[in-house]
Amino acid sequence: MDKIDARLLVVDDDQDVLLAAKLFLKQHFTIVHTEKDPENIKSLLVNENYDVILLDMNFSKDATSGKEGFHWLNVILEIDPAAVVIFITGYGDIELAVQGIKMGATNFLLKPWENKKLLATITANLKVRESKKELEDLRGKQKILIADQDMSYTDIIGSSPAMMKVLSAAQKVAKTDANVLILGENGTGKELVARAIHKASNRKDEVFISVDLGAISESLFESELFGFKKGAFTDAKEDRPGRFEAANKGSIFLDEIGNLTLGLQSKLLSVLQNRKVVRIGTNKEIPIDIRLICATNMPLYQMINDGKFRQDLLYRINTVEVKVPPLRERLEDLPQLVDHFLEIYCKKYKMPKKRLSPSTMKRLEKHTWPGNIRELQHSVERAVIMSESNVLEPNDFFLSNMDDKNKSGITPTTFNLEETEKMLIRKVIDKHGGNISKAAKELGLTRASLYRRIEKYDL
C-alpha cells in the first residue's frame, strides 16, 4: 500500500509510546518524527512543516491536570496557526479533552489507542489541515490584494499593426507556462499586457499579483516578496505570506525588474530556480507554483555588458520576450484611446460627453508622447476637467514641448529612451518647483521610483 504523503510529529514523555507510534505510523505516512521533551517543540516547528501533531496532555511535571498540554498547544498555535493538534491522554478525562478542543486542538485520543482508530483519526484530520492552510492562504492573499482593489484595468485598446503583433505574441505565450519578459518604455501599458496574458492562460481563475520592484526598498525586498514569521523583526506582529506565496497557483508580475541591485537579483534567481521561498525568521522551504511575468524599460542586455544585471537571471525570466511599442509608433490607435479616456473621465466627473475638434486630433498626432499612454491619459483627464466646452480644442491640452524639434532637438527618428526620460523628469520637476510628490504624480510614478530615477540620472 502506498504511503500517504504527510509529515507527523508525536510528542510524549513515554518512550514506549513514541516507539509504538513510530513503528505503526511510518508504515502509512512518509515522515514520522517523535520527541520526548516538549521543550524542543519550538525548534522543531521552526524548521519543519507538520501536517498533524500528536501531543500528550500530561507530562511528568503535571500528571493529570492537562495544563502542560494546554501550554504547549498554545505554543504550537502561536508558531503555526494552521497546525492540526490531536491531544493524547491516558486518563480519559472528557471534560479536559473538550476544553482542549475549545482552545484550538482538533481532536483527542485515549491511551492505549487502537491502531485502526489512530490511523482513521489522523487521516480525517489531514483534511482539516488542508482546509486550515487554504483559509490561511486566502487571508494572506486578501491582505495583499486589498492594496490593488481600487485599481481598474481594461482590455488592451488598439488595432494598429504594432499592437496586433503584441497581442498575437501574448495570445501564443499565454497558452503555456513559459516565463515572459515584457519590454517597453514607461507608460506603454506593460502591465496591461501582463494581465492579458494571465487572463488568457490556464491560470485565469487564480490570482494575479503585481509587484512594483522599483517601489520596494532593498531592506524590505525579502519581507515583501518572501514573507515573514511573527517576531522575525521589530514590526513583524503577525505571520504574513510574501507576494510569491500569495501568487501560488496564479501569476506574479514583477515590474521594473531592471531596478534590482545585483544582491537582490541573486536572491530572486535562487527562488526562481528552486521554486521555493523561505519566510524571514524560519528555515522552512515553502514550494510555490507560479507563472512568472516580468517587465522593464531598462536596456538589460547593455546592463549585462556593464556588469549591472545577471545574465543567468535574464535567461531565467525571458523564455519569451514581448516588446510593447511606444505610442508614437502606434498613432493609428490614438483616436480609439482618446475616446476611451474621454468616456472614462466624463463619466467620472459627471460631465456631458466631450469630443475633439479635427485640429486638436492633428495636434495630438504631432506630439511624440514621451510619457506614452500614461501621458495621454493624464492629458485627456486634465482637458476634461479644465475645458468648459463639449468640444476640446488644442489649447485645452497641456502638452510638453518635447516634441517640438526646435525646442528639444528630439524627433521620433532620433528618440533615445534614457535621454528622453531624463529630460522629461527634469522638466516636470522644474514645472513643480522641485516638489517630488507632485512631479511623481504627474509622471505616474511612486515617490520611491522617481527618487531612484533622480539618482540614476544624477539630477
| Residues 16, 35 share a domain | yes
End position of a domain, from candidates 323, 351, 373: 323
pLDDT digits (tens, 9 = 90+) for 169-206: 999 999 999 999 999 999 999 999 999 999 999 999 88
**pLDDT grade for 404, boundaries at 50, 70 and 90:** very low
Instruction: Report the percent of the chain where pLDDT is more than 70.
Output: 88
| Residues 39, 173 share a domain | no
* CATH number of the structural domain spanning residue 128: 3.40.50.2300
pLDDT digits (tens, 9 = 90+) for 124-137: 888 888 777 766 66
Range of weakest confidence among 4-13, 245-254, 394-403: 394-403
* CATH number of the structural domain spanning residue 350: 1.10.8.60
Kind and range of the H or E run holding 35: strand 29-35
* Cβ neighbour number for residue 187 with a 10 Å cutoff: 23
Q: What is the average per-residue pLDDT within 41-61?
A: 84
Q: How many domains does the chain have?
A: 3
Phi, psi of 123 (to 5 degrees): -60, -40
Query: 227 lies in which domain range?
Result: 161-323
| Residues 276, 402 share a domain | no
Q: What is the average per-residue pLDDT within 8-32?
A: 92
| Residues 384, 264 share a domain | no
| Residues 291, 336 share a domain | no
Q: What is the pLDDT of residue 402?
A: 46
| Residues 105, 250 share a domain | no
| Residues 357, 244 share a domain | no
Indicate if the pLDDT at residue 63 is higher than 80. Answer: no
Alpha helices in 234-391 (DSSP H): 243-246, 262-274, 300-305, 311-317, 334-348, 358-366, 372-386
**pLDDT grade for 251, boundaries at 50, 70 and 90:** very high
Could you tell me if residue 152 is inside a domain? no
* CATH number of the structural domain spanning residue 315: 3.40.50.300
Could you tell me if residue 343 is inside a domain? yes
Could you tell me if residue 156 is inside a domain? no
| Residues 176, 315 share a domain | yes
For residue 320, what are the contacts with CB-CB under 8 A and spacing of at least 6? 169, 173, 178, 179, 180, 181
Range of weakest confidence among 79-88, 162-171, 369-378: 79-88
| Residues 396, 314 share a domain | no
pTM for this model (two decimals): 0.62
| Residues 366, 334 share a domain | yes
Could you tell me if residue 270 is inside a domain? yes
**pLDDT grade for 150, boundaries at 50, 70 and 90:** very low
Top-confidence range, 24-38, 66-80, 86-100: 24-38
Indicate if the pLDDT at residue 154 is higher than 60. Answer: no
Indicate if the pLDDT at residue 152 is higher than 80. Answer: no
Q: From its phi and psi, is residue 129 left (phi > 0), alpha (psi between -120 and 50) or beta? A: alpha
Distance CA 424, CA 371 (A): 8
Phi, psi of 91 (to 5 degrees): -115, -5
| Residues 58, 203 share a domain | no
Range of weakest confidence among 69-78, 403-412, 423-432: 403-412
| Residues 269, 363 share a domain | no
End position of a domain, from candidates 304, 323, 342: 323
**pLDDT grade for 111, boundaries at 50, 70 and 90:** confident
